[in-house]
Amino acid sequence: MSVRLRRVYEPPEADDGVRVLVDRLWPRGLAKEAARIDEWPKGLTPSTELRRWYHAGKGSYEEFRERYEAELDVPEAAELLEHVRELAAKGPVTLLTAAKDPERSHAAVLAGLLEEED
């Protein structure tokens, strides 16, 4: 299973495979044609409340990860996560985010969960 994590603002690469935007909001200043997004499962993103809590600096990344993983247990999110897992089983998947630090974002949590199944 091949799962990559990249910023959505980076140019698409030939080996990206299925490009999955994992942000709830469309990235600022990015044309949809330029982004080459294949999937946009908004229900897989953190809740607005959790996202605001984390960006306000009220908790650690570890606490954010735990809270987000709990949100992913909700049936809709779990189903979407399984869908992305199935895509990754078939070929490369690139998780895309506008986060300035993708390695400490919800996208990294998703990548970690997908790689656990590997």
- pLDDT value, residue 116: 79
Confidence of residue 47 (pLDDT cuts 50, 70, 90): very high
Domain residue ranges of the chain, discontinuous segments joined by +: 3-116
**Region 64-80 average pLDDT:** 95
pLDDT tens across 48-67, in order? 999 999 989 888 999 999 99
Encode 54-63: b = buried (16+ Cβ within 10 Å), e = exposed.
Answer: beeeeeeeee
Judge contact between 19 and 36, C-beta under 8 A.
yes
Cβ(21)–Cβ(39) under 8 Å? Answer: yes
Contact 83, 42 (CB under 8 A): no
Supply the DSSP symbol for 39: B
pTM: 0.92
The pLDDT > 70 percentage for the chain reads: 97
